[in-house]
């Protein structure tokens, strides 16, 4: 019985050390995800929270748990070193996969297209861009907020659908639709009536009025738009020049 308690204590100590080292890595990655890859408000509704949970499961749970199961001082020094190397390689591989997936799915642009505000990911652009830095010409926001305008002609619509079907590039990622930053305010203004009707329909009007009161603003001083994230929706709030100000989460 005394031996078992000693073994348990050793295992807990080893997994605790592993957890401490993993926690440092997790904090660094969590900062990157929350502040750089998925800045507010996109963290909660467009995949950032899911990325954090994936990385936490691998870094803070899986690795230390395997260490607890395998670590045993009764083994030879060579066997212990071998076990630790195997654990490190396994955890690193899983962590790299989780980080790569989270990074690849980060929103690289927020696009107003038709009546929707959607996010785009790097892979959705295909071969249209030489670098994601090209998107910065459309907006100074991070990620860039871009107005994509489709001409209401049969020829233009056929082109959009052809690119979508043949090249697997969705409308929001079709760069030829992207307009200069100066046109974003008009794009938002032309949709305000519909958006205000929608915010009342979904029961968020009181929330908007509360925000206006708290920020000493009039309805005429702001522009709103519903952002449809992959895991939820928020209302983006802009000033009259279409500069992002804040958000409302229903």
- Give me the pLDDT at residue 1, please: 41
DSSP assignment letter at 169? -
Reply yes or no on whether the pLDDT at 3 is more than 70: no
Contact 91, 60 (CB under 8 A): no
Q: Tell me the pLDDT tens digit for each residue of 144-197.
A: 999 999 888 899 899 999 999 999 999 999 999 999 999 999 999 999 999 999
C-alpha distances in angstroms, 3 versus 8, 39, 45, 73?
9, 50, 50, 12
- Give me the pLDDT at residue 28, please: 95
CA distance 50 to 135: 25
Q: Tell me the pLDDT tens digit for each residue of 86-139.
A: 888 988 998 999 999 999 999 999 999 999 999 999 999 999 999 999 999 999
Reply yes or no on whether the pLDDT at 61 is more than 70: yes
**Bridging pattern class, strands 145-148 and 109-113:** parallel
Taking alpha carbons only, the member of 178, 183, 187, 184 closest to residue 135 is: 178
CA distance 161 to 167: 10
- Give me the pLDDT at residue 33, please: 97
Q: Tell me the pLDDT tens digit for each residue of 47-56.
A: 999 999 999 9
């Amino acid at each position: 019985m005394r031996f078992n308690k000693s073994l348990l204590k050793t295992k807990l100590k080893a997994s605790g050390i592993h957890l401490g080292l993993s926690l440092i890595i997790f904090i660094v990655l969590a900062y990157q995800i929350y502040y750089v890859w998925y800045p507010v408000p996109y963290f909660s509704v467009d995949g950032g929270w899911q990325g954090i949970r994936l990385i936490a499961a691998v870094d803070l749970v899986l690795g230390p748990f395997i260490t607890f199961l395998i670590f045993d001082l009764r083994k030879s020094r060579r066997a212990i070193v071998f076990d630790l190397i195997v654990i490190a390689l396994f955890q690193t591989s899983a962590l790299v996969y989780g980080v790569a997936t989270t990074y690849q799915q980060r929103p690289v642009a927020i696009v107003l297209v038709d009546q929707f505000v959607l996010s785009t990911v790097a892979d959705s652009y295909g071969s249209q861009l030489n670098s994601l830095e090209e998107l910065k010409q459309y907006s100074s926001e991070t990620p860039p907020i871009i107005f994509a305008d489709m001409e209401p002609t049969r020829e233009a619509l056929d082109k959009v659908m052809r690119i979508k079907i043949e090249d697997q590039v969705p409308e929001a990622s079709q760069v030829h639709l992207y307009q200069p930053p100066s046109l974003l305010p008009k794009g938002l203004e032309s949709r305000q009536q519909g958006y205000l009707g929608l915010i009342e329909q979904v029961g968020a009007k009181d929330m908007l009025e509360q925000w206006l009161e708290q920020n000493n603003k009039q309805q005429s001083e702001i522009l709103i738009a519903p952002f449809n994230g992959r895991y939820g929706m928020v209302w983006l709030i802009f000033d009259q020049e279409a500069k992002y100000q804040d958000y409302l989460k229903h």
